[in-house]
Amino acid sequence: MQQPKKIMLVGAGLAGSLLTVFLARLGYNVQVVESRADSRRVGYKGGRSINLALSHRGIRALRAVGLDQAVLAESVPMRGRMMHSPTGQLTYLPYSQRADEYINSISRARLNEILLSAAEKEQGVSIHFQEACTKADFTAGKVWTTCPENDTIEWQADVILGTDGANSAIRKAMREACGDSFTEHTEWESHGYKELAILPDEGGNFRMEKNALHIWARQTYMMIALPNFDGTFTCTLFMPLEGENSFAELQNQQAVEAFFAEHFADVLPLMPDLYEQWQQNPIGHLGTLRCSTYVYDERAALLGDAAHAVVPFYGQGMNASFEDCLCLYEALQRHQHDWRKALQHYNQERHPNSHAIATLAQENFIEMRDHVANPIFVRKRRLELALEQLYPDYFSKYALVTFHPEVPYTEAHRRGNAQDAL
């Protein structure tokens, strides 16, 4: 089977830059267009989640191209949850009793830069920054982009891959190509999120336990904090957009500081500039995207958030996106570069699994904000940890999803929920 000569990849975020490495390793010429400027030159202008939890599914994909160690070297291990009660009391629960089962906090910007630099080192790769895709025609193999000077460029390719995130232009082209047979639906959360930073102390040290994911679970809202490599923490407050205890209620300095004093008393002294941050940092919106297919003949595919944006409550969106890239890489090898078969394989494998992680993430939001502070949840976690010590083949639902990439998300969902019910 002759390999297509040219791949056009739209979006050099986390999935796009890793996928470029995979495709280049298979010998393809990959042209990449990315709407943002190159963050390695102008600094990162992200707009959402400063850091991310990387776990075994993502690490496995990175390992397949030898990038896992470079990434892990710049991440902070988080070995358990540190729960903060309203009175500032701390309860620590390890994620697992097994030594290698923990999650890793990594800067989104740094991870993207490591992957971009790795992609650029490969033969046959060219990355064009500040080129935003506006339109694509899969049958003609054409993609159109515009740059800040407003020039439109027309690109030609044999295969078009969309890794351009939740507002994907390539998904729009998929809708146009497939007609009525293509459906997509985004379920928006009534909660939004805001990021806030805790700076290190005068000596540059972390101000809370560094090897943990911190959680302030308050039932209808919650805050989490992940450590960064530079001694800071990024806190993310998830709250209803409207109604009681919502963003809408917190409109001035007095209201914000009083709210923190009442509900997050131990954080307030660690954020002397709370209100400046509050004003500067926008409220992000959260949604779950499900669409009916990720592929079009042998011509085009969607990967990552472009195919299946999920809410961040299992810390799996990027991990699942990296699994997409690995799946397509393996499918191309298995089907000897027959793109029609490889894309069918990719779609059949990833579609049900992406739906499963989307549902798991929605369910976990309820568990995190409602149950983590609940004594029954704490006892359940302790029971799970005891079972892990006693039985080498017992895995909690969290462990199945997070630490066991050999178990597909669909199976982790089925087994995990059956165990929870029991």
Contact (Cβ atoms closer than 8 angstroms) between residue 133 and residue 127: no
Contact positions toward ligand FAD, by CB under 6 A? Answer: 10-16, 33-36, 48-49, 52-53, 132-133, 163-165, 169, 193, 236, 284, 304-306, 312, 315-319, 321
Shortest distance (Å) from residue 15 CB to ligand FAD: 3
Pick between residue 29 and residue 35 the one whose CB is nearest to ligand FAD: 35
Shortest distance (Å) from residue 305 CB to ligand FAD: 4
CA–CA dist 13, 348 (Å, integer): 24
* Residue 89, CA atoms < 13 Å, CB-side half-sphere: 5
Amino acid at 253: Q
CA distance to 16, 146, 160, per residue, from 78 (Å): 26, 41, 37
Pick between residue 233 and residue 336 the one whose CB is nearest to ligand FAD: 233
Shortest distance (Å) from residue 147 CB to ligand FAD: 11
CA–CA dist 90, 355 (Å, integer): 35
Q: Read off the tokens for 29.
A: 């010429």
Which runs of E-coded beta strand occur in 138-209? 142-146, 152-156, 159-162, 184-198
Pick between residue 70 and residue 109 the one whose CB is nearest to ligand FAD: 109
Pick between residue 319 and residue 396 the one whose CB is nearest to ligand FAD: 319
String of DSSP letters for 266-317? TTGGG-TTHHHHHHHSPPEEEEEEEES-SEETTTEEE-THHHH---GGGS-H
What is the DSSP code (8-state) at residue 147?
-
Pick between residue 13 and residue 386 the one whose CB is nearest to ligand FAD: 13
Pick between residue 72 and residue 387 the one whose CB is nearest to ligand FAD: 72
Shortest distance (Å) from residue 40 CB to ligand FAD: 13
User: In sequence order, what are the beta bridge partners of 32?
Assistant: 9, 127
Pick between residue 37 and residue 387 the one whose CB is nearest to ligand FAD: 37
Shortest distance (Å) from residue 211 CB to ligand FAD: 16
Residue nearest to ligand FAD (CB): 13
Handedness of CA 176, 178, 182, 184 (dihedral sign): negative
Shortest distance (Å) from residue 51 CB to ligand FAD: 7
Shortest distance (Å) from residue 150 CB to ligand FAD: 15
